[in-house]
Structures are given as C-alpha cells and as structure tokens.
Chain A
Amino acid sequence: MSDRIELPEGLPEAIAQAGQDAALPGDGSELVFNSPWEAKAFAIVLALHQQGHYSWTEWAQALGGEIRAAGDEDDGTGYYLLWLSAAEKLIASKALVDESELLARKQALEVAQGGPA
C-alpha cells in the first residue's frame, strides 16, 4: 500500500502535496504567501488590529463571513481574496476609510498604469 492514498472526495490536491513533506520553513516546499499582495493584505489587517481598531474576534467573524459565503467550492487557494474582501468590509464598517475614496484610489491607479479608461 502506498502511503499516499488518492483523494476520493475532492479534498484538494494541495492536501496530497502538503501532506507529502510536512513543510518546515526553509525547506522551500511551501510559500507563506504566494504573491506580495497577499502578504500586504495580511499585514494591513494585523497592523490595524494591533493599533486597536478592531478586536481579533471581530476580524475572525468578518473573515468567517466571507469564507462561509464562499461555500463548499472554497479550496483554500483563494484564501487571501476572501481575506482582502473581509478587510475592505471591516475597514469600511469601522469608518477608517471611505469606500468611495478607496474606489477612486483604485481607479486612479488603474489609469496610471494605462488600465481601463
């Protein structure tokens, strides 16, 4: 019997991979963040919490809400997209940043890079 059994009911392939060599940092087998924006989104949420803008329980509820909404299709790979959406909503609900301000900034960035006119 091989020690890595096939995954019948849709446990993501990532399980097979991750299970294979329980990655310890430094062995290079798993990245903490897949791209810089994920790290940034992560750090924004931590930094604002550390300054007392919301409790960690409030954050867990916000993130949990996004994750629940994503439902059974959520294979964990889009985790930081859910994280980002939860962050945008919580930050808006705490009135730290105005949603329209955020949108305007995003559009300005798009224009600056020659994006959608």
Chain B
Amino acid sequence: MSAGDDNHHNDDHDHDHQHANSRPLSDPELRVKALESVLVDKGLIDPAAMDALIENYETRVGPHNGAQVVAHAWSDQQYRQRLLEDGTKAIAELGFSGMEGEDMVVVENSATVHNVLVCTLCSCYPWPTLGLPPVWYKSAPYRSRVISEPRKVLKEFGLKIGDDVEVRVWDSTAELRYMVLPERPPGTDGMSEEQLAALVTRDAMIGVSLIPAPKI
C-alpha cells in the first residue's frame, strides 16, 4: 500500500463520518474503529486525548527536534559533553522528552568511527528527537542486513565508509535508544544554530548518511 493509493483522499478531517456514497471501510479501518469505539464506551480512552496524541506526532515531534540538539552540540562544547555523557538529560534541557526517549544514548561520529542505528527486535526509535521511524527502518531487510553487512547497506544508501573507519551498529531496545551525533561539515564556521539545524537530516542522525558541506 502506498501513500498514493485510494486511502489517501480519505485523509481529510471528515474521514470518520459515513457518507451515503463513501466507499466501504477496509478491514483494518473496521478493526480500528471497532477497537476504538469499544474502548471509548468502556471509558478506557478519551477521543480528545487521542486526537491530541496524533496531532503531536504528526506535527510537533520529528527530526527537526533532533536537528536542534545536534546544532546545539556543535555550537557549545560543554553541551556536547553533557549530551554524550547523559543523552536523556541533555536532550530534555532543550525540551524534548517523552515516549521512546526515556533512556537516550547519543553516539558521536568522528573521522575514525561511524555509528548507525537499528532495532532488530521491532522498531524502537528515539521518538522525541527523530519522530516516528521511516518505513525502511522498520523493514526486515534493513533490520537484519545492517547488522550482518553494515558497510554494504550503507553503500546502498550512497554512503561509502572508508576501510580505516570503524562502523558501529547500535541495536535499540524498548529500554534504550540511540541517536547519532553527526560530524559537523566543513564550511560551517560562524553559522548560527538555526542555520546549522537546517543542515541536519534525519538520515544523518540514524547514521545512514553524512551531512554534506553547505553549497556556497
């Protein structure tokens, strides 16, 4: 199922209402609707709270948060130190915490070490800083192959890691999550944190790409 399929025009706000001519709900739609309505009837969930949760993850939580953390670490050596020593605490300093961000370990890329993240068990991922994981992160091939042949997988992302660079693969769990602190690209001296944050990509914080020097 792709984002462009028939479900897509259903993404607007009146999706919950049954119109006379609307298409019948699909099986997963029916299952979710049944689950939700039973839980609401029992008072176990509050529809308004659910909407707030969804809105939060659709709009506020995402890799722009992680980008701020990275830019701040690049700009402030003491913060960088704190970030590497206690990721959870340092990230919370910038206001990012919550689900799947309770025990954060930040791993730093350097000229000699390249870090990359995976969750082999399921899809654990640092939500507060990176948002929800991309589809490929959740795929079986990525989950297994990045462990067995990380350099080859990185190459498929267009990232060639030199033989003199050690590749470390970090397997996230429900208790512990990682985030990569990418290397600051050359040609960025004197940039503001805001400008730096705009250079930082989600994939660089997963470790499947580097941050290129800005185009001048």
Contacts and interface: CB of A to CB of B under 8 A. Distances in A.
Nearest to A72: B140
Interface stretch (B35-43, B72-80, B108-116): B35-43
Contacts of B38: 97, 101-102, 105
Contacts of B141: 9-12, 72, 75
B135 A18 contact: yes
Contact of B29 (A37, A42, A71, A78): A37
Interface in A63-104: 63-64, 67, 70-81, 84, 87-88, 91, 96-97, 101-103
B70 interface: no
A14 B155 contact: no
Contacts of A36: 10-11, 15-16
Interface in B137-169: 137-142, 144-145, 153, 155-158
B35 A43 contact: no
A26 B28 contact: no
Given A34-B1, A40-B33, A47-B49, 7 more contacts: A32-B131, A44-B32, A60-B124, A63-B123, A75-B135, A77-B2, A84-B35
Interface of A: 3-5, 7-12, 14-15, 18-19, 22-26, 30-37, 39-44, 46-49, 51, 53, 56-57, 59-61, 63-64, 67, 70-81, 84, 87-88, 91, 96-97, 101-103, 105-106, 109-110, 112-115
